[in-house]
Homo-oligomer: A and B are copies of this chain.
Amino acid sequence: MAYPPLHELNLLHANICQALADPKRILILYALADEPRHVTALAEMLCLPQPTVSRHLRILRQQSLVTSERDGTAVVYSLLDHRIIDVLDTMRQVMVDALARQSNLLEDNGFS
């Protein structure tokens, strides 16, 4: 039985992954998991130019990973769903375990 062709949900799913697929955006998400923050606060924390942070935040916003709220002239961004952090944490654990396995393989073959 052939699978249905790539359906809409799968495209959206891939879009979410794409939004996560940048080291700066991952840092932004972890920073927002801590607490909501202004754009400038994020830029300073991560040592990035403000326009760069804004552009990354837009991408995260378009995927409904963060929300924004005005606070005077500033805009406060917050994480929309903390399960995204669980997702990132699990992925990181999978990655670390894979690296450990590879490292063991190397040792077992006398490459340590």
Q: Which secondary structure dominates where chain A touches chain B?
A: helix
C-alpha gap A87/B93 in the complex (Å): 11
Q: Are A14 and B21 in contact, CB atoms less than 8 angstroms apart?
A: yes
Smallest CB-CB A-B distances: 3 pairs? A17-B21, A64-B98, A18-B21
Q: Which of A1-48 contact B (CB under 8 A)?
A: 2-3, 5-6, 9-18, 20-27, 31, 44-47
Which residues in B have their C-beta under 8 angstroms from that of A58?
A: none
Give how many copies assemble into the complex.
2
Determine the interface band of chain A, counting residues with CB < 8 A from chain B.
35 or more
Q: Are B83 and A12 in contact, CB atoms less than 8 angstroms apart?
A: no
Of A87, A92, A96, the most chain B CB neighbours within 10 A belong to A87
Q: Are A84 and B80 in contact, CB atoms less than 8 angstroms apart?
A: no
Which residues in B have their C-beta under 8 angstroms from that of A101?
A: 64
Which residues in B have their C-beta under 8 angstroms from that of A64?
A: 95, 98-99, 101-102
Of A14, A92, A96, the most chain B CB neighbours within 10 A belong to A14
Which residues in B have their C-beta under 8 angstroms from that of A14?
A: 20-23, 25-26
A65 to chain B, nearest CB (A): 8
